[in-house]
Protein backbone atom coordinates (compact mmCIF):
# COMPACT_ATOMS: atom_id res chain seq x y z
CA UNK A 1 0.00 0.00 0.00
CA UNK A 2 1.31 3.41 -0.83
CA UNK A 3 2.40 5.74 1.96
CA UNK A 4 -0.53 8.05 1.28
CA UNK A 5 -3.14 5.31 1.63
CA UNK A 6 -1.42 3.93 4.72
CA UNK A 7 -1.35 7.39 6.29
CA UNK A 8 -5.09 7.82 5.61
CA UNK A 9 -5.87 4.40 7.11
CA UNK A 10 -3.87 5.28 10.22
CA UNK A 11 -5.70 8.62 10.52
CA UNK A 12 -9.05 6.81 10.39
CA UNK A 13 -8.13 4.45 13.21
CA UNK A 14 -9.79 5.55 16.46
CA UNK A 15 -6.92 5.09 18.94
CA UNK A 16 -3.19 4.44 19.18
CA UNK A 17 -3.63 0.67 19.51
CA UNK A 18 -5.76 0.53 16.35
CA UNK A 19 -3.31 2.78 14.49
CA UNK A 20 -0.43 0.48 15.42
CA UNK A 21 -2.51 -2.53 14.35
CA UNK A 22 -3.14 -0.98 10.92
CA UNK A 23 0.57 -0.37 10.38
CA UNK A 24 1.62 -3.86 11.56
CA UNK A 25 -1.09 -5.60 9.51
CA UNK A 26 -0.21 -3.59 6.41
CA UNK A 27 3.51 -4.35 6.71
CA UNK A 28 2.80 -8.05 7.33
CA UNK A 29 0.46 -8.20 4.34
CA UNK A 30 3.04 -6.50 2.10
CA UNK A 31 5.75 -8.93 3.21
CA UNK A 32 3.54 -12.01 2.79
CA UNK A 33 2.34 -10.92 -0.63
CA UNK A 34 5.89 -10.14 -1.78
CA UNK A 35 7.09 -13.56 -0.67
CA UNK A 36 4.13 -15.22 -2.38
CA UNK A 37 4.56 -13.38 -5.70
CA UNK A 38 8.33 -14.00 -5.68
CA UNK A 39 7.84 -17.71 -4.94
CA UNK A 40 5.25 -18.13 -7.70
CA UNK A 41 7.48 -16.20 -10.13
CA UNK A 42 10.45 -18.47 -9.41
CA UNK A 43 8.26 -21.58 -9.74
CA UNK A 44 6.88 -20.37 -13.08
CA UNK A 45 10.37 -19.51 -14.36
CA UNK A 46 11.61 -23.00 -13.47
CA UNK A 47 8.53 -24.50 -15.15
CA UNK A 48 9.34 -22.44 -18.27
CA UNK A 49 12.95 -23.65 -18.32
CA UNK A 50 11.86 -27.26 -17.78
CA UNK A 51 9.26 -26.94 -20.55
CA UNK A 52 11.80 -25.40 -22.94
CA UNK A 53 14.24 -28.22 -22.15
CA UNK A 54 11.61 -30.89 -22.75
CA UNK A 55 10.51 -29.29 -26.02
CA UNK A 56 14.12 -28.93 -27.16
CA UNK A 57 14.65 -32.64 -26.43
CA UNK A 58 11.57 -33.39 -28.53
CA UNK A 59 12.98 -31.34 -31.41
CA UNK A 60 10.37 -28.58 -31.32
CA UNK A 61 11.57 -25.36 -32.97
CA UNK A 62 11.63 -22.24 -30.81
CA UNK A 63 11.58 -24.29 -27.61
CA UNK A 64 12.77 -21.32 -25.54
CA UNK A 65 9.87 -19.22 -26.83
CA UNK A 66 7.37 -21.91 -25.88
CA UNK A 67 9.00 -22.28 -22.47
CA UNK A 68 8.52 -18.55 -21.94
CA UNK A 69 4.90 -18.81 -23.03
CA UNK A 70 4.36 -21.68 -20.58
CA UNK A 71 5.94 -19.66 -17.75
CA UNK A 72 3.89 -16.52 -18.50
CA UNK A 73 0.60 -18.36 -18.99
CA UNK A 74 1.09 -20.29 -15.74
CA UNK A 75 0.46 -17.07 -13.80
CA UNK A 76 -3.22 -17.47 -14.72
CA UNK A 77 -4.32 -20.66 -12.94
CA UNK A 78 -6.47 -23.16 -14.83
CA UNK A 79 -6.86 -21.01 -17.95
CA UNK A 80 -3.14 -20.44 -18.58
CA UNK A 81 -2.15 -24.12 -18.57
CA UNK A 82 -5.17 -24.96 -20.77
CA UNK A 83 -4.05 -22.34 -23.31
CA UNK A 84 -0.49 -23.68 -23.14
CA UNK A 85 -1.68 -27.24 -23.82
CA UNK A 86 -3.78 -26.01 -26.75
CA UNK A 87 -0.86 -24.05 -28.24
CA UNK A 88 1.59 -26.92 -27.75
CA UNK A 89 -0.90 -29.31 -29.34
CA UNK A 90 -0.99 -27.18 -32.47
CA UNK A 91 2.80 -26.79 -32.47
CA UNK A 92 3.35 -30.50 -31.89
CA UNK A 93 0.92 -31.69 -34.53
CA UNK A 94 2.22 -29.26 -37.16
CA UNK A 95 5.85 -30.25 -36.53
CA UNK A 96 5.50 -34.02 -36.09
CA UNK A 97 5.41 -36.86 -38.57
CA UNK A 98 2.67 -38.69 -36.69
CA UNK A 99 -0.20 -37.86 -34.37
CA UNK A 100 1.44 -39.70 -31.48
CA UNK A 101 4.63 -37.65 -31.80
CA UNK A 102 2.51 -34.53 -32.21
CA UNK A 103 0.93 -35.09 -28.81
CA UNK A 104 4.32 -35.43 -27.09
CA UNK A 105 4.83 -31.65 -26.48
CA UNK A 106 1.50 -31.09 -24.70
CA UNK A 107 1.99 -34.37 -22.80
CA UNK A 108 5.44 -33.26 -21.65
CA UNK A 109 4.06 -29.92 -20.48
CA UNK A 110 1.15 -31.62 -18.70
CA UNK A 111 3.57 -33.91 -16.84
CA UNK A 112 5.69 -30.93 -15.78
CA UNK A 113 2.61 -28.91 -14.84
CA UNK A 114 1.27 -31.81 -12.77
CA UNK A 115 4.52 -31.95 -10.78
CA UNK A 116 4.52 -28.17 -10.38
CA UNK A 117 0.91 -27.80 -9.29
CA UNK A 118 0.59 -30.83 -7.03
CA UNK A 119 4.08 -31.10 -5.52
CA UNK A 120 6.26 -28.00 -5.94
CA UNK A 121 3.78 -25.14 -5.46
CA UNK A 122 2.00 -26.60 -2.41
CA UNK A 123 5.37 -27.37 -0.82
CA UNK A 124 6.95 -23.98 -1.51
CA UNK A 125 3.96 -21.66 -1.31
CA UNK A 126 2.52 -23.54 1.65
CA UNK A 127 -1.03 -24.01 2.83
CA UNK A 128 -1.05 -20.69 4.67
CA UNK A 129 -1.84 -18.71 1.53
CA UNK A 130 -3.90 -21.43 -0.15
CA UNK A 131 -7.01 -20.06 -1.80
CA UNK A 132 -10.30 -21.81 -2.45
CA UNK A 133 -10.29 -23.05 -6.08
CA UNK A 134 -13.87 -21.85 -6.60
CA UNK A 135 -12.89 -18.34 -5.47
CA UNK A 136 -9.90 -18.44 -7.84
CA UNK A 137 -12.14 -19.49 -10.71
CA UNK A 138 -14.70 -16.78 -9.93
CA UNK A 139 -12.01 -14.11 -9.68
CA UNK A 140 -10.53 -15.27 -13.00
CA UNK A 141 -13.96 -15.00 -14.61
CA UNK A 142 -14.61 -11.56 -13.15
CA UNK A 143 -11.20 -10.01 -13.81
CA UNK A 144 -10.87 -11.73 -17.19
CA UNK A 145 -14.24 -10.34 -18.22
CA UNK A 146 -13.39 -6.86 -16.94
CA UNK A 147 -9.78 -6.53 -18.15
CA UNK A 148 -9.05 -9.44 -20.50
CA UNK A 149 -5.58 -11.00 -20.39
CA UNK A 150 -4.31 -8.41 -17.90
CA UNK A 151 -7.21 -9.25 -15.61
CA UNK A 152 -6.38 -12.95 -15.78
CA UNK A 153 -2.80 -12.21 -14.76
CA UNK A 154 -3.68 -10.00 -11.78
CA UNK A 155 -6.73 -11.90 -10.50
CA UNK A 156 -4.89 -14.36 -8.24
CA UNK A 157 -2.39 -11.87 -6.78
CA UNK A 158 -5.27 -9.50 -5.96
CA UNK A 159 -7.27 -12.33 -4.41
CA UNK A 160 -4.21 -13.35 -2.40
CA UNK A 161 -3.77 -9.78 -1.19
CA UNK A 162 -7.43 -9.63 -0.16
CA UNK A 163 -7.06 -12.89 1.77
CA UNK A 164 -3.91 -11.71 3.54
CA UNK A 165 -5.57 -8.48 4.61
CA UNK A 166 -8.83 -10.21 5.58
CA UNK A 167 -6.94 -12.68 7.75
CA UNK A 168 -5.46 -9.77 9.74
CA UNK A 169 -8.63 -7.74 10.21
CA UNK A 170 -10.83 -9.33 12.89
CA UNK A 171 -14.05 -7.96 11.37
CA UNK A 172 -13.17 -9.67 8.05
CA UNK A 173 -12.63 -13.15 9.51
CA UNK A 174 -15.60 -14.52 7.58
CA UNK A 175 -14.15 -13.28 4.28
CA UNK A 176 -10.77 -14.82 5.12
CA UNK A 177 -12.48 -18.15 5.83
CA UNK A 178 -14.48 -17.92 2.58
CA UNK A 179 -11.31 -17.37 0.55
CA UNK A 180 -9.30 -20.11 2.27
CA UNK A 181 -8.89 -23.57 0.82
DSSP conformation letters of the chain? --HHHHHHHHHHSSSHHHHHHHHHHHHHHHHHHHHHHHHHHHHHHHHHHHHHHHHHHTT-TTHHHHHHHHHHHTTSTTHHHHHHHHHHHHHHHHH-SSHHHHTHHHHHHHHHHHHIIIIIHHHHH-STT-B-HHHHHHHHHHHHHHHHHHHHHHHHHHHHHHHHHHHHSGGGHHHHHHHB-
* Confidence category of residue 1, pLDDT binned at 50, 70, 90: low
Q: 68 or 141, which is more confident? A: 68
Give residue-wise pLDDT tens across range 35-55: 888 888 999 999 999 999 999
Query: What's the pTM?
Result: 0.76
* Confidence category of residue 149, pLDDT binned at 50, 70, 90: confident
Amino acid sequence: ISAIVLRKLVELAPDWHAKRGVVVATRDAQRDLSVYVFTISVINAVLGVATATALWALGIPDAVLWGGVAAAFNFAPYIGPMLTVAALSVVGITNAHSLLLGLAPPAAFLALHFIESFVVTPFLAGRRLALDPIMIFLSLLLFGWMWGIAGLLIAVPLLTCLKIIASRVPAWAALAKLLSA
